[in-house]
Structure 1
């Protein structure tokens, strides 16, 4: 199968305390070099704690942030960060908060017309026809087009956000917590809609979420991030059932499951490391029950540990 998306050593570093003139006092590596491949038509779930770099990675993928190192390839073609339209035609973002992601001063029709005009140069008649087609595909009535964002529920607003992404005719969608702000019943409707649109338009998804049950249900593969790096990648049905990295095992055990006792909380001092003073070796070593001296000295690379599973660990768990 062909590759829809390829990341080669993609990283992001932010300056801290930079004066008006002169160099910054320090730097924070929000995303350490990430190399990933996403096949056409695949849904890749991305999970991890808050602050692990998921959203920073997503913003680099859609051109909202320039990477510090590395490159992004769409279907084998390298994207130029200096050309935002190139990103817009290739990959689109669906935001976590559907209401605040829509301009409150513009009607829904005006919002949907922007990518059609800016990215594809459509005339008014072509825009009307395309918007009608897109609105029907997300199960919304055309009369809604003359209304404003504040007049919609969260579920309706998220459908409009999805419609805006479809309007760009991009082949890849980055879904950043697309259902976390919605009621449970509405979550199911939006997830079913996304599944249908994926088949109908031949889309590829990167699905970012804290909800492991949702990620496991909708993803073909899952990438687990910790402290800015991908520490495990594998098939969705296997990665939580038989994790190889202790952090993945911690995440899987912390997710509430009916009928299973809750995992006892970790001891104090087991938060993410200080980004201004990152530890040597594996960043997860202070929290890892299997950590040894090599873990505290050498940061392990991501290595294959099964037919379709990769993990960055000196002492991987048994399969």
Structure 2
């Protein structure tokens, strides 16, 4: 299987407290060096707490943010951040809030025509045919094309967002919380649609979500982010059944389960690391019940845990200690 997407030491820093002269007062390392490979036809789930760098990483992949360092390679070719159209033809973004992601002043036909005109220079007659094909693929009626975004429900608007991504004919879709704003029944419809489109069109997905149950259900592999870095990666069933990094286990234990009392896995006094003054060594060590002296001195790299599962931990969770 060939690689659809390769990230090599990808980082993103944001200066804080800019001054007229001299360097900024501080720097937030939103994404620390991330190296990942996504195979063609794979769904890679990306999970982590709010502020861990998931959306920043996603926005770099589609050219909405320029990396501070590192490379993005799609289908064997490195992308030039200076050419946004190069990203658009290869990779597309499906946003969390479907209605606000659509231009309220344009009809759906105008929204759909934009990538066909600007990325593929498609003539008007062919654009009409292509839009009809895409709308049929996402189970939308053509009469919707002359309406405006505010006239649609959340589920319909998300289908339009997916249709717009397909119009660019990109083979990789970044799905950033694509169902979190939808009702549960509508979530199932959209997830089934995404699964069908992936099978029919041979798409590759990066699926970003807070909902661990959804990620486990739709993903082939999962990457866990903490404080801007990947701390665990492996097959979805392995990562959720037997997490090896203490942070992954914390996430799994935090997920609500029918029949289990809701109980915070950490105390109220727990504090997240300061992004302007990051700790030395492992960023998770202050919250980690398995921290050892080495964790304060060294930042652990991703290490093989067996069966292709990797975790950045010097004292990983024992293999037999499953999530609660």
TM range (shorter): over 0.9
Find the counterpart in structure 2 of residue 82 from structure 1: 82
Find the counterpart in structure 2 of residue 162 from structure 1: 162
Between the aligned partners of 2:262 and 2:228, the Cα distance in structure 1 is 27
Between the aligned partners of 1:264 and 1:20, the Cα distance in structure 2 is 45
The CA deviation string for residues 159-206 of structure 1, in whole angstroms up to 9 with x for no partner, is 000000000000000000000000000000000000000011110000
Find the counterpart in structure 2 of residue 279 from structure 1: 279
Find the counterpart in structure 1 of residue 114 from structure 2: 114
- In the alignment, structure 1 residue 183 sits paired with structure 2 residue 183: yes
Between the aligned partners of 1:50 and 1:92, the Cα distance in structure 2 is 22
Between the aligned partners of 1:162 and 1:105, the Cα distance in structure 2 is 19
Tell me the matched-pair count: 319
How far 1:307 moved relative to its partner?
1.6
Between the aligned partners of 1:123 and 1:96, the Cα distance in structure 2 is 31
Between the aligned partners of 2:170 and 2:197, the Cα distance in structure 1 is 12
Between the aligned partners of 1:26 and 1:252, the Cα distance in structure 2 is 33
SS for the counterpart of 2:102 is: coil
Between the aligned partners of 1:234 and 1:194, the Cα distance in structure 2 is 22
Between the aligned partners of 2:134 and 2:146, the Cα distance in structure 1 is 15
SS for the counterpart of 1:240 is: helix
Find the counterpart in structure 2 of residue 289 from structure 1: 289
The CA deviation string for residues 275-313 of structure 1, in whole angstroms up to 9 with x for no partner, is 001010101000000111111111100111112100000
The CA deviation string for residues 2-24 of structure 1, in whole angstroms up to 9 with x for no partner, is 00000000000010011233321
Find the counterpart in structure 2 of residue 245 from structure 1: 245
Between the aligned partners of 1:155 and 1:246, the Cα distance in structure 2 is 36
SS for the counterpart of 1:257 is: coil
Between the aligned partners of 2:50 and 2:208, the Cα distance in structure 1 is 11
Q: Residues 253 and 263 of structure 1 are in contact (CA less than 8 Å); yes or no, is this contact kept in structure 2? A: no
How far 1:262 moved relative to its partner?
2.8
Find the counterpart in structure 2 of residue 99 from structure 1: 99
SS for the counterpart of 1:238 is: helix
Between the aligned partners of 1:271 and 1:63, the Cα distance in structure 2 is 33
| TM-score scaled by length of structure 1 | 0.99
Find the counterpart in structure 2 of residue 72 from structure 1: 72
How far 1:269 moved relative to its partner?
3.5
Between the aligned partners of 2:113 and 2:253, the Cα distance in structure 1 is 45
SS for the counterpart of 2:225 is: strand
Between the aligned partners of 1:241 and 1:314, the Cα distance in structure 2 is 20
Find the counterpart in structure 2 of residue 298 from structure 1: 298
Find the counterpart in structure 1 of residue 268 from structure 2: 268
Structure 2: 5+ residue stretches without partners? 320-324
The CA deviation string for residues 43-63 of structure 1, in whole angstroms up to 9 with x for no partner, is 000000000000000000000
Give runs of aligned pairs for residues 12-27 of structure 1, distance below 5 A: 12-27=12-27
How far 1:263 moved relative to its partner?
3.6
- In the alignment, structure 1 residue 33 sits paired with structure 2 residue 33: yes
Q: Residues 134 and 167 of structure 1 are in contact (CA less than 8 Å); yes or no, is this contact kept in structure 2? A: yes
| C-alpha RMSD over aligned residues | 0.8
